[in-house]
Amino acid sequence: MTAPHSDFPVILVEDDEDLREAIGVTLRLNHIEFVTHQRAETVLPLLQPGLKTVIITDYRLPGMNGLDLLRLATKEIPDLPVIVMTAFAKMAASDCECTFSHFRKCTGGLRSRSNHFDHSQWKSSAGHHRD
């Protein structure tokens, strides 16, 4: 059985329309297929074993936030790449520490960038999970 949205290497979760469009333009320019969601809750039904995608999510969303989505997504699919982005570099310390602890247990590490994103890393990550 084919997982939902298995043809899309990126699931973009962003509630800000302008930012969602800007990221979409970047993905399209790099020939990366994607679907968009404005809320994390709408992604949850897609989280099934065998799903081959990359989730890019904003931290601050209406309802469930991006860190909660990360926790649930990696619980369901431990090797699922999830990128959490935020314009708020100083997230709540308790949120960050909880996420760091979760990732240390699940993956042995966590990569973090506080500056602008690197288009080639997105393209490489999305292309790797397309197969």
Give CA 20 to chain center in angstroms: 13
| 31 falls within a domain | yes
CATH number at residue 20: 3.40.50.2300
E strand or H helix at 129, and its extent? none
Strand partners, 13: 37, 57
| 126 falls within a domain | no
0.75 cut: is pTM over it?
Answer: no
| 3 falls within a domain | no
Per the structure, the count of domains in the chain is 1
The whole-angstrom separation of Cα 127 and Cα 27 is 11
Q: How does pLDDT run across 22-76, given as a tens digit for each residue? A: 999 999 999 999 999 999 999 999 999 888 899 999 999 999 999 899 999 999 9
What is the span of the domain harbouring residue 97?
10-121
Q: How does pLDDT run across 112-124, given as a tens digit for each residue? A: 444 445 555 555 5
The whole-angstrom separation of Cα 53 and Cα 85 is 17
